[in-house]
Structures are given as C-alpha cells and as structure tokens.
Amino acid sequence: MARTPKNQPDEDETADTPARVSRHIQPLGPRVLVRVVKSPDRSEAGLYLPQGLKDGNAMALLGEVVEVARTMPKADPLVESEDEADEEDEPVVDLGKNVSGVPLGANVLFEKDRGVVVPWDDTLRLLEVRHVLAIVDIISEDEIQ
C-alpha cells in the first residue's frame, strides 16, 4: 500500500473538505446592506471605554452602505457609454439602477435594534430604508477650517 507524504492530503481528505465560499447579498425592495462601523475604544478625553459601556449607552449605530437594492440589470451587463467609446478603457459593468434612495458607500445612522443581522457576518445588517435615520458626512477638523 503506497503512503501519501505528510505534506500532501489523501484523495479522500480533499473530497471531504469544503471549498471556500464567497457570498453576495443583493437587497430586495427598499432595503440596504450596511456594515456596522465600530466605535472607538477611547473617549475624546482619552479614557478607555469597555465594550459593554459603549454598547449599552448607544441608542444608534453608524454603518456604511455596502450594497443597495437595484433594478434588474440589462441582458448584456457590459455597457459602453458614449463618453467611453473613444477611450481604450474597459467597458463599464451595469449592475442595475439604485432604487433604494440611499447612495452606495454612504455612512448612515440607524437604531441599534433595527435590521437583520447576517448569519455568517455579525458586522453586516440588512436594513429597511425607512429605518435609516440620517446620512452622515464625516468631515475632518482640517476640512472645517
């Protein structure tokens, strides 16, 4: 009986190990997919804030919109716009029109008990647009002055 070297798995072992899976969530209806932004561990005065204290006092969470509800894309998702016809760039991929009303990549404020937590990633929430309280613009002190 031939033995497999230690650094190479047996044929039976490779068949049993699951392949790495990538998931894409496409919100339907008036919903957005939000990644919760972690709050800082220190206060503005420099004091360390325990996780329980931060989460217990927070009434709302800040999140970044990572996916939005869209219309169905066209049959041919590769679309060349008139402006890009002269350029040698690759064609733009048409994923459908944003119908959620919330811009992709926006920072939003929502109540901490709203939304459905995605089972395989605790930082993702599927949130109805009506539960978005505000769109937040993050401006540094340098930009204010």
pTM above 0.75, yes or no: no
CA distance 35 to 121: 9
Give pLDDT, residue 66.
93
DSSP state letter for 97: -
Domains of the chain as residue ranges with CATH: 24-144 (2.30.33.40)
Six-digit token string for 76: 């041919």
- SS3 label, residue 57: helix
Burial of 136: CB neighbours in 10 Å, binned 0-12, 13-18, 19+: middle
Give pLDDT, residue 72.
73
Residue 110: Cβ within 10 Å count: 21
CA distance 143 to 121: 34
Successive 10-residue mean pLDDT values, the chain, 145 residues: 51 63 83 86 65 64 90 60 54 73 91 90 92 89 79
CB 36 within 8 A of CB 114: no
Give pLDDT, residue 133.
92
Give pLDDT, residue 41.
64
Residue 3 half-sphere exposure toward CB, CA atoms < 13 A? 3
Give pLDDT, residue 8.
53
- Non-local (6+) Cβ contacts of 140 within 8 A are none
